[in-house]
Amino acid sequence: MLKKITLVLSAAALALTAACGSDSSSDKPADPSKALVVGATATPQGDILNYIKSDLADKAGLKLEVKEFTDYTQLNPAVEDGQIDANYFQHKPYLTEYSAQHGDKLAWTVDVHVEPLGVYSKKVTALTDLKDGATVTIPNDPTNGARALKLLADNGLITLKDPASTTATERDVTANAKHLKFKALDAAQLPRSLEDADAAVINGNYALAAKLTPAKDAIVLEKAEGNPYANGLVVKKGSESDPRVEKLDTLLHSPEVKKFITDKYQGSVLSAF
C-alpha cells in the first residue's frame, strides 16, 4: 500500500513538473531575431510603418513586417489571437471602448499622430449653407460617431448635452436648428457617401485613401491642440517590454518619422510627439 501511495505521489510530482515546465516555456521572452508583425490600415499608418521598414529598421536592428488591413475592426482581434504582434490604427477612446466590450487584453505603448476628422461635401462649401433637413453621414463605431457629433457641435450645427463627451450619441443632441438627419456608415464607406449625402464626417485616413486632402478639401477640421484622438501602437498586455516593440516605439517617436509625417501629409496628418 505504501509503495502504491509513493508511486501515485511520484506521478503527481511528475505531472506538476511537466505543467510548470509548460507554463514557463510560454513565458519565454520573444525571439528578437524574428520579425515583428504589425497590422495597420493603409494610410497613413501603413505608409509610416513602411517608411520605417525601408529607411530606419535595419539600422536599429529591427526586423519589421507590415500587414495592411482594409477592415480595421479585425485588427484588435488579430493581436489578441496572435495573428499579428501589434497594431497601429486606433486612438485611445476606441481602445477603451473595445476593451470594455471584449476584455482588457491590450496595451497602449506610444502616441504617434493625429488624423484630424473633417466635414466634407460636394454640395456646399460652408456648413451654414446646409439646408434644413440635410443628411450628414458619420462613422458608425461609437467613439468616432461621438467624435463626429462633437465636431459638428464645435462648429455650431448642433448642441450636445455634454460638449466634452467622447461617448455622445444622437440621443445626446439637445438642439438641432437645421433638423439635420444623421446616417451612420462604416468609416470606409464615408467618402463614397459624398455622392448622395449633403455632407460627410470622414476619418482622416479614409479621406486620404479617397484622394481627399483634409487640409484643403475639408469644410472644417478638428483642432490638433488638446486632441484626445492621437493614433498609436497597441500590443497584447505583457508584450510592452518586448525588445522589438521597444525598438519600434523609439523609431515611431524619432525625428525622422516626425519629418516624414510633416513632409508627406502637409498638415493633413499631424505628429503627436
User: Could you tell me the domains of the chain?
Assistant: 36-116+228-271 (3.40.190.10), 118-220 (3.40.190.10)
- What's the number of CA atoms in the CB half-sphere (13 Å) around residue 264? 17
Q: Specify the pLDDT at position 28.
A: 57
Residue 29 binned pLDDT confidence (cut-offs 50, 70, 90): low
Nearest to 41 by CA among 103, 113, 136: 113
Q: Specify the pLDDT at position 25.
A: 35
Give residue-wise pLDDT tens across range 158-198: 999 999 888 899 999 999 999 999 999 999 999 999 999 99
Q: Specify the pLDDT at position 227.
A: 84
Whether 241 shows a pLDDT value over 90: the answer reads yes
Give the whole-angstrom CA distance, residue 115 versus residue 98.
20
Whether 144 shows a pLDDT value over 70: the answer reads yes
Task: Taking residues 231-236, report their average pLDDT.
Answer: 97
Q: Specify the pLDDT at position 13.
A: 43
Give the whole-angstrom CA distance, residue 253 versus residue 261.
11
Mean pLDDT for the chain?
89
Q: Which residue type, as a one-letter code, is found at position 157?
A: L
For 263, the grid coordinates are 513632409
Beta strands in the chain (DSSP E): 36-40, 64-68, 86-91, 106-114, 118-120, 135-139, 159-160, 173-175, 181-185, 199-202, 220-221, 231-236, 270-271
Query: 20 or 181, which is more confident?
Result: 181
Preceding omega of 44 cis (within 30 degrees of 0):
yes
Residue 18 binned pLDDT confidence (cut-offs 50, 70, 90): very low
Whether 11 shows a pLDDT value over 50: the answer reads no
Give residue-wise pLDDT tens across range 38-74: 999 999 999 999 999 999 999 999 999 999 999 999 9
pTM of the model: 0.73
Burial of 171 per CB tally in 10 Å (0-12, 13-18, 19+): exposed
Q: Specify the pLDDT at position 189.
A: 97
Q: Specify the pLDDT at position 33.
A: 80
Taking the CA atoms of the chain, what radius of gyration do you get in angstroms?
A: 23
